[in-house]
C-alpha cells in the first residue's frame, strides 16, 4: 500500500496534478503520524488494514467538511473536498453494496451466535477485522442493530 502511494505521488508530480499531489501527501503524513504514535507505544508500524482505516477516516472527515461548506454557501470549497474524497477512494478497495453488507452482517451474526444488542460490539469488531475499508461501518452498525433487536 505504501509503495502504491509513493508511485501515485511520483505520477501526480510528473503530471503536475497539484490536488492529487497534496492529497497523497496528506495520506502519507497521516500514515507517518500513526507510525510515530505506534513506535511510542512499542507497537509495529502501520499495516495495510490500518492504512485502510486511516483512509476511511479521511473520507469521513472530508464528507463532513463538504457538508459544512455547502451549508455555508461555499460551493468551491465543498467541490475541493469532494475531489479529495475521490482521490482517497481511489486507494481503497471497492465498497460493498448495501445488499452485500446485509448478507455479510447476517452471516457474521450467525457465525458468532450473537443474541442481542449486548453482542453488537463483538459483531462490529469482527466486521471491521474481516472487511476493512470495504464497507461503511456506520451503515453496517444500523443493520447490526436492526437484526439484533
Element (DSSP H or E) covering residue 10: helix 2-14
What pLDDT sits at residue 49?
80
Give 125-147 pLDDT, tens digit per residue.
888 888 877 888 888 888 888 88
Q: What DSSP designation does 59 have?
A: H
94: helix, strand or coil: coil
pLDDT of 79 reads 95
Model confidence at 77, pLDDT cuts 50, 70, 90, reads very high
Q: What is the mean pLDDT of the chain?
A: 90
Q: How far apart are the first and last CA of the chain?
A: 38
Please write the tens of the pLDDT for every residue from 85-94: 999 999 988 8
Average pLDDT of the residues in 100-111 = 89
Q: Scan for cell 457465525, then name that residue.
A: 111
Q: What are the CB-based long-range contacts (under 8 Å, 24+) for 120-126?
A: 120/144, 120/145, 120/148, 123/148
| Domains, the chain, with CATH or none | 2-89 (1.10.1510.10), 98-147 (1.10.10.410)
- Supply 105's cell numbers: 452482517
pTM of the model: 0.74
7-60 pLDDT, tens digit per residue, is: 999 999 999 999 999 999 999 999 999 999 988 888 888 888 888 889 989 999
Q: What's 72's DSSP letter?
A: T
Q: What angle do CA 132, 137, 141 make, to 5 degrees?
A: 135
Amino acid at each position: 500500500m505504501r509503495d502504491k502511494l509513493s508511485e501515485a505521488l511520483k505520477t501526480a508530480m510528473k503530471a503536475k496534478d497539484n490536488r492529487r499531489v497534496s492529497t497523497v501527501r496528506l495520506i502519507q503524513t497521516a500514515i507517518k503520524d500513526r507510525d510515530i504514535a505506534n513506535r511510542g507505544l512499542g507497537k509495529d508500524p502501520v499495516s495495510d488494514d490500518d492504512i485502510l482505516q486511516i483512509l476511511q477516516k479521511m473520507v469521513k472527515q472530508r464528507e463532513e467538511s463538504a457538508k459544512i461548506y455547502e451549508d455555508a454557501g461555499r460551493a468551491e470549497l465543498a467541490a475541493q473536498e469532494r475531489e479529495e474524497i475521490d482521490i482517497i477512494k481511489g486507494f481503497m478497495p471497492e465498497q460493498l453494496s448495501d445488499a452485500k453488507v446485509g448478507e455479510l452482517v447476517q452471516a457474521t451474526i450467525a457465525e458468532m451466535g450473537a443474541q442481542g444488542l449486548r453482542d453488537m460490539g463483538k459483531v462490529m469488531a469482527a466486521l471491521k477485522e474481516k472487511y476493512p475499508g470495504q464497507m461503511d461501518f456506520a451503515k453496517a452498525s444500523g443493520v447490526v442493530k436492526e437484526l439484533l433487536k
